[in-house]
Amino acid sequence: MPLLQPSPERLRPAPVGPAGDRLPDELAGGTPERLRDDLIRLMGEGKVLHHVSDLVKYASDASPYRFVPQVVVIAETVDDISKLFAYAHEHGRKVVFRAGGTSLNGQSQAEDILVDVRRHWTGVEVLDGGARARIAPGTTIVKANIALSRHGRILGPDPASARAAAIGGTVANNACGMTAGTTRNSYKTLDAATLVLPSGTVVDTGAPDADEKLWAAEPRLCEQLTALKAEVEADPELVARIRKKYSIKNTNGYRLDALLDGATPAQMLRGLAVGSEGTLGFIADTVFRTLPLERFTCTGLLFFPTLEAAAAAVPLFNEAGARAVEVMDGSTLHACSEMDGVPDDWARVPREVTALLVEFRASGEEGRSRHAEAASQVMAGLDLVSPVPSITNEFVTDAKTITMYWHAREAVAAVVGAARPSGTTMIGEDFAVPPEHLADAVVLLQDLLTRYGFDAAVAGHAAHGNLHFLLVFDPSEPTEVERYAAFMDAFCHMVVERFDGSLKAEHATGRNIAPFLELEWGPRATEVMWRIKEIIDPHRVLGPGVILTRDPRAHLKGLKTIPTVEEIADRCIECGFCEPVCPSHDLTSSPRQRIVLRREMMRQGEPSPVQDKLVETYGYDAVDTCAGDSTCKIACPVGIDTGAYMKAFRHQRHSEREERTAERVAEHFGTVETVARIGLGAAAATPDAVLSASTRLARRAIRPDLVPEWLSEIPTAAPKRLPVTDEQLAVAVYYVACVNRMFDSPDGVGSLPEAIVQLSARAGKPVWIPTDMKGSCCATIWHSKGYEDGNALMANRMVELAWEWTGHGRLPLIVDASSCTLGIAAEVVPYLTEENLARHRQLTVVDSIVWAARELLPHLEITHRIDAAVLHPTCSMRHLKDVDALEEIARACAREVDTPVYAECCGFAGDRGMLHRELTETATRLASQEVASRDYDAHLCANRTCEIGMEHATGKPYHSALIELERATRPRP
pLDDT (tens digit per residue) in 216-230: 999 999 999 999 999
Could you give the CA distance from residue 461 to residue 248 in angstroms, rounded to a whole number?
12
Q: Does the structure show a pLDDT above 80 at 652?
A: yes
Q: Work out whether strand 296-304 and strand 291-292 pair parallel, antiparallel, or are unpaired.
A: unpaired
The residues that bridge with 286 in the sheet, in sequence order, are: 135, 193
H-helix segments, 393-437: 399-410, 412-418
> Confidence band (pLDDT; 50, 70, 90) for 151?
very high
Q: Which amino acid is at 579?
A: E
Q: pLDDT tens for residues 48-63? A: 999 999 999 999 999 9
What residues pair up with 328 in beta bridges, in sequence order? 355, 459
Mean of pLDDT values over 799-816: 98
DSSP-derived 3-state class of residue 113: strand
Distance CA 61, CA 722 (A): 52
CA distance 279 to 271: 14
Q: Where are the domains of the chain?
A: 8-60+560-653, 296-507, 727-968
The rounded distance, in Å, linking the Cα atoms of 161 and 102 is 7
CB 72 within 8 A of CB 49: yes
391 — pLDDT class (breaks 50, 70, 90): confident
Q: How far apart are the C-alpha atoms of 640 and 265, rounded to whole Å? A: 47
DSSP H helices in 18-112: 33-43, 52-57, 78-91
Q: How many angstroms separate the Cα of 733 from the Cα of each of 373, 757, 796, 876?
A: 50, 11, 18, 21
Question: Which residues, at least 6 apart from 518, have a Cβ–Cβ distance to it below 8 Å?
Answer: 526
Beta-carbon contacts of residue 81 (< 8 Å; ≥ 6 apart): 75, 115, 117, 196, 282, 284
Question: What own/partner pairs with CB < 8 Å and gap ≥ 24 does 520-524 have?
Answer: 520/252, 520/253, 520/492, 520/495, 520/496, 521/245, 521/252, 521/253, 522/241, 524/235, 524/238, 524/241
pLDDT given at position 731:
98
Are 252 and 502 a contacting pair, CB within 8 Å? yes
Nearest to 906 by CA among 951, 971, 846, 940: 951
Angle between helices 961-968 and 883-893 (to 10 degrees): 30
Between 747 and 884, the higher pLDDT residue: 884
**Average pLDDT in the chain:** 96
**Which residues are registered as beta bridge partners of 896?**
868
Alpha helices, DSSP H, located in 621-668: 631-635, 642-653, 656-667
CATH, domain range 8-60+560-653: 1.10.1060
Report pLDDT digits (tens) over 406-429.
Answer: 999 999 999 999 999 999 999 999
- Work out the average pLDDT over 915-943: 96
User: pLDDT-based confidence at 1, cuts 50/70/90?
Assistant: low
User: For the chain, how long is the longest CA-to-CA vector?
Assistant: 91
Residues belonging to the chain: 973
Contacts of 766 (CB under 8 A, 6+ apart): 725, 726, 729, 730, 731, 757, 760
CA distance 866 to 474: 61
Q: State the average pLDDT over residues 597-601.
A: 98
Judged against a pLDDT cut of 70, whether residue 165 lies above it is answered with: yes
CA torsion, ordered 57, 63, 68, 73, to nearest 10 deg: -60
Q: How confident is the model at residue 864 (pLDDT cuts 50, 70, 90)?
A: very high
Nearest to 768 by CA among 722, 800, 822, 718: 722
Contact present, 588 and 613 (Cβ < 8 Å)? no
The Cα–Cα gap between 960 and 712 comes to: 19
Number of neighbours of residue 692 by Cβ within 10 angstroms: 14
Burial class (CB in 10 A: 0-12, 13-18, 19+), 152: middle
Which residues have CB under 8 Å from 427's CB, separation 6+? 64, 470, 471, 472, 473, 484, 512
Q: Parallel, antiparallel, or unpaired: how do β-strands 813-815 and 732-735 relate?
A: parallel
Other CB atoms within 10 A of residue 244 CB: 12
Residue 4 has pLDDT above 80, yes or no: no
* Closest by CA position to 140, among listed 163, 159, 123, 121: 163
- 812-829 tens-digit pLDDT: 999 999 999 999 999 999
What pLDDT was estimated at residue 431? 97
CA atoms within 13 A on the CB side of 277: 29
**What are the tens digits of pLDDT across the range 93-144?**
999 999 999 999 999 999 999 999 999 999 999 999 999 999 999 999 999 9
Phi, psi of 123 (to 5 degrees): 140, 150
Q: How far is CA 525 from CA 254, 496, 498, 537, in A?
A: 10, 15, 20, 18
Partners of 98 in the beta sheet? 116
The CATH architecture of the domain made up of 296-507 is 3-Layer(aba) Sandwich (3.40)
d(CA 842, CA 832): 14
Strand partners, 303: 355
Cα separations in angstroms, 343 against 331, 347, 385, 396 = 15, 8, 17, 16
Helix (H) or strand (E) holding 371: helix 365-379
pLDDT digits (tens, 9 = 90+) for 336-377: 998 888 999 999 999 899 999 999 999 999 999 999 999 999
CB-neighbour burial class of residue 258 (10 A; exposed 0-12, middle 13-18, buried 19+): buried
What's the CA gap between 263 and 226, in Å, rounded? 9
pLDDT of 577 higher than 70: yes
The band of 748, judged by pLDDT with boundaries at 50, 70 and 90, is: confident
β-bridge partners, 192: 287
**Nearest 5 degrees, angle CA 876-CA 881-CA 884?**
110
Please give the pLDDT value at position 704: 87
The b/e string for 775-786 (b: 16+ C-beta within 10 A; e otherwise) is bbbbbbbbbbbb
pLDDT, average across residues 837-865: 98
Q: Which amino acid is at 314?
A: V
CA pair distance 503, 432, nearest whole angstrom: 7
Q: Ramachandran region of residue 453, left (φ > 0), alpha (ψ -120 to 50) or beta? A: left
pLDDT at 798 over 90: yes
DSSP code of 419?
T
